[in-house]
Amino acid sequence: MEWRLQGIRVVLYTTPAALPDAEEVWKKILSPRLPENVQRPKGMGMPQSMASGSVRGNQLSVTIQPSRIDLIVSPETNNWADENIDGPSLDDLLKPSVVYGQKIIEMCSGTRAALVTDAFKHASSYSDAQRMFQEELDFVPHLNDVRDINFQVNPSKPFSNWPNQKMFRLCRWSTASMQLFNMQIAGGHFGSTLSPATGPIEQKHILSFQTDLSGEPLAGAPLDSGTLKDMLREMGDETGKLLLNGFEGLRQ
């Protein structure tokens, strides 16, 4: 069973002076498509902004915060709640996220980048999720009557073209259970109320896999855009390898 992608986040760490507006970033990576929603909160001290919208079956948002730019790409369909809904493939979500991130790097100077991925597999029960966990990490001791199992490691490796620069590869496997409440809306448009619908509460079980790849924090001047773009590309390749090979991908 392949991992289903729940969302991908690309982060560019930058200097406050280099922060653009979120709508400006959106137009840079998606022109001529315009965002469906733009927010610029007031009274937050340093300028902050957010732009979001639907792009080719995915939901995309750009958030500008002090010293960082976040790009989040996630499927529009809630595929973790329904295992019968086909989720996006690795190529559908990961590759466009890296390309969008590289376009952001072209317009903003940055000190480092990060690529975060949330993936999961459906399980029929909690014991099934435990079994899947053991298959992924057969060296972790099996404990009976234990819930919410998780395992986390953060090994580093040098970037291919910059052997003095480290790529950190934080990986976390965990089991999870979620209760889905069946809700119904009653009343008019302005006076509607939300109440639980009759029928059982549905419980879902998953095995979760989160990867957080990032460059080494460096003091001093920002890296040139060509270096950062290539580092992000390599982090994308490494993420794909981890999603395909699991823990064994960390050994390669």
Within a domain: residue 225? yes
- Give the per-residue pLDDT at 220: 67
**148 DSSP assignment:** S
pLDDT band at 200 (very low <50, low <70, confident <90, very high): low
Within a domain: residue 168? yes
For residue 151, give its domain range: 4-177+205-251
- Give the per-residue pLDDT at 80: 54
More confident call, 17 vs 114 = 114
Q: What is the mean pLDDT of residues 203-227?
A: 88
| Least confident residue range of 42-51, 175-184, 231-240 | 175-184
- Give the per-residue pLDDT at 248: 93
- Give the per-residue pLDDT at 43: 60
Highest mean pLDDT among 10-14, 81-85, 195-199, 214-218: 10-14
192 pLDDT above the threshold of 50: no
Within a domain: residue 123? yes
Domain tally for the chain?
Answer: 1
Within a domain: residue 217? yes
Structure tokens given for 122: 């459906």
Structure tokens given for 36: 């469906």
> CA dist 97 to 34, 102, 145, 164, Å?
17, 9, 39, 26
Question: CB of 35 within 8 A of CB of 70?
Answer: no
Those residues whose C-beta lies under 8 Å from the C-beta of residue 185, and which sit 6 or more positions away, are 192, 193, 194
> What is the phi-psi region of residue 77: left when phi exceeds 0, alpha when psi lies from -120 to 50, beta otherwise?
beta
What are the pLDDT digits (tens) for 160-191? Answer: 999 999 999 999 999 988 766 554 444 444 44
More confident call, 50 vs 178 = 50
Within a domain: residue 186? no
More confident call, 70 vs 141 = 70
Within a domain: residue 22? yes
**151 DSSP assignment:** E
Highest mean pLDDT among 92-96, 140-144, 235-239: 235-239
pLDDT band at 69 (very low <50, low <70, confident <90, very high): very high
Within a domain: residue 150? yes
Question: CB of 102 within 8 A of CB of 87?
Answer: no
Question: CB of 252 within 8 A of CB of 241?
Answer: yes
- Give the per-residue pLDDT at 210: 97
Within a domain: residue 165? yes
